[in-house]
Amino acid sequence: EWKLRFAQAHDALHSLRQALRCRSYLLKFKDRNLTGQGANTRAHAAAKGITAKIDAASARYNAAHTALTALAPAFKPSAWESSLQVLNPNDIRSMTDLLEGDTEGRRKFSWIWKVHGAAKDDSDRAGSLDTMRIEWCKARARVHRWQEEVKLLREEMRRTEAFLEWQADWWDNRTKPENITTSDKQTAESLVAYAKRQASLR
């Protein structure tokens, strides 16, 4: 009974990953290639069919996991829950999907893609490796882009600081007697105070 349920759980995960991968490819193909109401309607219908497969695979996995949880006290398997975890709704996503609140720089794969044996056969392994390679390339491109952004930001900060220093010196220079254009002492003191205030703000 344990071996049967254990195999059912892994088979369900395999089907779930395949369906998620198919949906991801379909949506990408639709966005890049399909135009017109008819083509989009057919793609939408196909996506609904894949979603039904995802729901069915998830239900099969949850049923097998529930059975394994009930059987575990009797069979006392070792560390089975590390590979067959509880399947939450947020776990049912492709490698490229982001959770709410996630960013491109802090993307986390669902555990269903990291579990031992995720690449069950050659086709699954090839698909997983291709997806991982694509995600790695995207991550590498993001790193390079962010490194460039950091360089630009540092240069912008340097220029801003240099400008503020120049502006502070300019206001300090306005406090010198030769730059006071009024003969009224009170007005001159006010101008000097204002210039010093502006210089201190820089």
- Annotated domain spans of the chain: 1-118, 159-200
Work out the end-to-end distance of the chain between its first and last CA atoms, rounded to an integer number of angstroms.
76
Helix axes 122-174, 185-201, angle to 10 degrees: 160
pLDDT digits (tens, 9 = 90+) for 131-171: 666 666 766 787 788 888 889 999 999 999 999 999 988 88
- For residue 52, count other CB atoms closer than 10 A to its CB: 11
Q: What is the pTM of this model?
A: 0.53
pLDDT digits (tens, 9 = 90+) for 50-107: 889 999 999 999 999 999 888 888 877 777 877 788 899 888 888 776 555 555 556 6
pLDDT digits (tens, 9 = 90+) for 21-31: 888 877 777 77
